[in-house]
Amino acid sequence: MNFTFVTLFPNLVYPYFEDSILSRAKELNIIDIDCVNPRDFSLNKHKKVDDYKAGGGAGLLMSPQPLYDTLDNIKQKDSHAYFIFPLPVAKNFTQKDAKRLSEKNHIVFICGRYEGIDERVIEKYADEVFSVGDFVLTGGELPSLCMCDAISRMVEGVLGNEESLTEESFEDALLEAPSFTKPNIYNDVGIPSDFLKGNHAIISSLKNRMAHAKTCFHRPDLEKKVKTYKRKNYEK
């Protein structure tokens, strides 16, 4: 699977893939990472890629020409390239989106800077827009890396143990249940005894109850979704 980052700062992107799981996935050619700098497509003699906002206002926007030419160039090379814009004014990116997008062959993240991107670029090229939370960052590289990480780990062969994907947060709208390791007692604190008895049915039931408890405490909004889903299925 190919990932392209359209960014003014490639050095913010490449180091993330130099270690751990995604580094191994690169070495095995399961994923490929590339960066394209819009500055290389600027027709301005100073290679400017930003300009003042029409109608006034603080800050500068990334201007259309460099991005139009950058994205057109990518499309010419791969007509199936899928353009994603990380934006604070967008729907939240979820685990379901990560699963769905892992079926794509080539995803392009367009990383904004300054006060954002001229809206005409977004309207013309965006296949999807996502937010990673209700906050504002200095650029689109971090949210793009977050999404790339979440999508990559869903690609077959990236994780060493594919079973790691079966018990995760946000499956069935629940947060993942707490997990424990050895020793069974540490600093006078033990782990639930049912985890030590080898009865997988009991362990599964306990994990489900613990997942509900954690979700209710940390994310009551998700717990409401679970209850609504169960009620609808019961009514059927």
CB under 8 Å to 40, separation ≥6 — which residues?
70
Instruction: Give the CATH superfamily of 2-152.
Output: SPOUT methyltransferase, trefoil knot domain (3.40.1280.10)
CATH 1.10.1270.20 domain range(s) in the chain: 167-235
- Per-residue pLDDT of 12-26, as tens digits, reads 999 999 999 999 999
pLDDT of 168 strictly over 90: no
pTM beyond 0.95, yes or no = no
pLDDT band at 4 (very low <50, low <70, confident <90, very high): very high
Type of residue found at 90: A
pLDDT value at residue 220 = 85
- Per-residue pLDDT of 32-60, as tens digits, reads 999 999 999 999 999 999 988 888 778 89
Rounded-to-integer distance, Cα 1 and Cα 32, Å? 6
pLDDT, mean of residues 58-85:
96
pLDDT value at residue 165 = 58
DSSP string, 135-181: S--S-SHHHHHHHHHHHHTTSTTSSS-GGGGTS-TTBTTBPPPP---
Encoding tokens for residue 204? 């599964």
Beta-sheet pairing, 128-130 with 82-86: parallel
pLDDT value at residue 59 = 86
CATH 3.40.1280.10 domain range(s) in the chain: 2-152
**Domain covering 167-235 in this structure, CATH number:** 1.10.1270.20
